[in-house]
Structure 1
């Protein structure tokens, strides 16, 4: 049976095309949602862009008829901008204050009560990304849900980039003899992906094992491309870090994604690989390092000085790692080194839109704070002969409209896992310090 979906403002500000995501069902946009979208359209950031996209979409749909009367959508659904059902009497019994959230709740509740009086009542569902709105809707007896259409996978189902496979010890011996294994004879009951890593373990219980990588066309398992030698003084401390360096140092993989908790070595490994490829091997003309300017907690407001001075607090984690890699002794030494080299550029992502970036090793840190649209914008900037690395912790998100499975980094990992031009690894073991590892696990 068809349903009625009432959309909260945050759904449209998160994904403007949510209007078309409910198939044959009716989509209702309360009038107050239009007011909230209008108040956001001048915002210079992603929220403002999405508000403007929603405005243009609704304006285009007006050609099909009056939105307040309802119009048919191409896929069979129906869209309506709701001007009625605004009575606040029922909601006021529970929540007295006339806020925009409560006005949206009132529309959904009045629809629900009206449908109950019909011969074949349709289910009314309030869709919101605001947890408290969903809780309040539940108190009112309404069916409610988060917007899930843009989610790539559940929190525990994101692609990790490697698999553990137990096999007969003779198969491990065969690999060490011939340095290759065909995948089909292994008879696996799950799929492997290009550049995925495989850890073979002896099913008989001995300590025999092997670390391999799936080739680009997913036909065989091969030995790792790189040896386990230090990279700019940095050596892999665990199997996943070695996998990360394998992807970072392979020039045939132009897109690499790395996820992991704080302290697992994402930034340090990427910087070390970038410095090797740029300064030593001269494979790339420049090392470009960028991260989104999204504050954790309360924003500190405008910062004084020129662009470089304004960016320094946001980029300090990058400078900390560079100081470690260059083994600087005094404060300010890293600035002199970077100025002398001229091939290392630290930027905010604010300045990357519209650029074409050929021949560079690009590192995007804290990519979990990017939306799907922002990730598309960044990756589509990559020019000929460039390599881009995006990394972050999907569990540490400071963006108000993103979560661990709807953020741009997770979306990129899942969409590219079958592509031969990309590789991914999830780092699991913290190497910053024992305290940092315990804190990442417990807090």
Structure 2
């Protein structure tokens, strides 16, 4: 039986094409949603862009008929902008204040009550990315759902970039003698992905093991290209960090994604690899480091000074790692070093979008705060001979319309995991300090 879906504003601001995601069901956009979208359309960020897109989309659908009466969508569904089911009387006792959220809930409730009077009532579902709206809907006896159409996998199924396989010890011995294994010889039930790391362990329980990497064509298991030598004074402290350095220093992999909690070494490893490639090997012309300007907690407002002075608070985590790598002793030393090294550039992503970037080693930190569209825009800017590294912690998201399953970093990891131009590693073990690791685990 067909359903009636009432959309909250945040669904359309998150995915402006959401109206096409409900097959042949009825999609309702309350008038309060139009008002909220109108208030966002002048924003200069992704939310504003999506608000303008929704406005143009609805305007285009007007050519098919009056939105109030309903227009047929391409999958057979019906889209309505609702004006009639606005009565707030049934919500007055429960939620006294007529906020926009409550107005949207009122539309869903009135539809639900109206359907209950019919011989074959349709199920009314309110779709919202706002947890409290879904809780309120549950209190009212309404069915409420999160918008999940853009999610590629649940958190528990995220690609980590490596697998542990138990084998007979003779297979491990064969690898060490031949320095290669065929994927077919392992007789696995799952497909291994290009550049995926494999940890072989002895099924008999001994300490015998091996660390391998799937070849670009996905047919062979090969030894790691790099030895465990320090990179710009930074050595891998655990297996996942060694995997990360293997990807970061491989010029044949133009896209590397790293995810993990704070303190796992993502930024430090990427910067060390970038400095080696740019300053020592001269493989790339420039090291470009970018970060989205998304505040943690309350925004500090406008900042005085030139562009570099304004960006410094946002870029401070990058400077902290650079100071460690360059072993600076005094305040201001890192600025002098960067001034003398024109090959290193630290920018906010505001200044990266729209550019074409060939021949550079590009690091994008805090990529979990990027939307799918922003990640697409950034990766599509990568020019010939460049390498881009996206990294972040999907558990620490400051963007109001993103979560662990729908952010740009997770989206890039899942969409590129089968491509031979990319590699990924999830780092789990914190190496910043024992206290930092405890904080990540306990808090």
Q: TM-score, normalised by structure 2?
A: 0.99
Deviation string 1:126-178 (CA, Å, 9 cap, x unpaired) is 00011111000000000001000111211221100000000000000111111
2:256 alignment partner in structure 1: 256
Structure 1 residue 93 displacement after superposition: 2.1
Q: Partners in 2 of 1:421 and 1:433 — Cα distance?
A: 34
Q: Partners in 1 of 2:80 and 2:187 — Cα distance?
A: 52
Structure 1 residue 191 displacement after superposition: 2.0
2:334 alignment partner in structure 1: 334
1:358 alignment partner in structure 2: 358
2:103 alignment partner in structure 1: 103
2:66 alignment partner in structure 1: 66
Q: Partners in 2 of 1:194 and 1:27 — Cα distance?
A: 41
1:291 alignment partner in structure 2: 291
Deviation string 1:407-432 (CA, Å, 9 cap, x unpaired) is 00001000000000000000010000
Task: Describe how 1:8-47 pairs up with structure 2 within 5 A.
Answer: 8-47=8-47
Q: Secondary structure at the match of 2:86?
A: coil
1:409 alignment partner in structure 2: 409
Structure 1 residue 288 displacement after superposition: 0.2
Q: Partners in 1 of 2:160 and 2:412 — Cα distance?
A: 13
Q: Partners in 1 of 2:61 and 2:204 — Cα distance?
A: 64
2:282 alignment partner in structure 1: 282
2:343 alignment partner in structure 1: 343
Task: Describe how 1:399-438 pairs up with structure 2 within 5 A.
Answer: 399-438=399-438
Deviation string 1:298-334 (CA, Å, 9 cap, x unpaired) is 0110000000000001001000100100011111011
Q: Secondary structure at the match of 1:89?
A: coil
Structure 1 residue 185 displacement after superposition: 2.2
Q: Partners in 2 of 1:194 and 1:316 — Cα distance?
A: 35
Task: Describe how 1:24-423 pairs up with structure 2 within 5 A.
Answer: 24-423=24-423
Q: Partners in 2 of 1:182 and 1:279 — Cα distance?
A: 37
Q: Partners in 2 of 1:134 and 1:350 — Cα distance?
A: 34
Q: Partners in 1 of 2:363 and 2:381 — Cα distance?
A: 13
1:7 alignment partner in structure 2: 7
Q: Secondary structure at the match of 2:155?
A: coil
* Equivalent residues, number: 443
Q: Partners in 1 of 2:141 and 2:16 — Cα distance?
A: 28
Structure 1 residue 227 displacement after superposition: 1.4
Q: Secondary structure at the match of 1:80?
A: strand
Q: Partners in 2 of 1:353 and 1:275 — Cα distance?
A: 23
Q: Partners in 2 of 1:184 and 1:93 — Cα distance?
A: 66
Q: TM-score, normalised by structure 1?
A: 0.99
Question: Unpaired runs of 5+ in structure 2?
Answer: none
Q: Secondary structure at the match of 1:384?
A: coil
Question: Unpaired runs of 5+ in structure 1?
Answer: none
Q: Partners in 2 of 1:217 and 1:26 — Cα distance?
A: 45
Q: Partners in 1 of 2:353 and 2:180 — Cα distance?
A: 43
Q: Tell me the C-alpha RMSD between the 2 structures.
A: 0.6
Q: Partners in 1 of 2:123 and 2:367 — Cα distance?
A: 38
Q: Partners in 2 of 1:64 and 1:237 — Cα distance?
A: 62
Q: Partners in 1 of 2:69 and 2:93 — Cα distance?
A: 30
Q: Secondary structure at the match of 2:269?
A: helix
Structure 1 residue 75 displacement after superposition: 1.1
Q: Secondary structure at the match of 1:156?
A: helix
- Deviating beyond 6 angstroms after TM superposition, the runs of 4 or more aligned structure 1 residues are none
Structure 1 residue 190 displacement after superposition: 1.7
Q: Partners in 1 of 2:123 and 2:187 — Cα distance?
A: 46
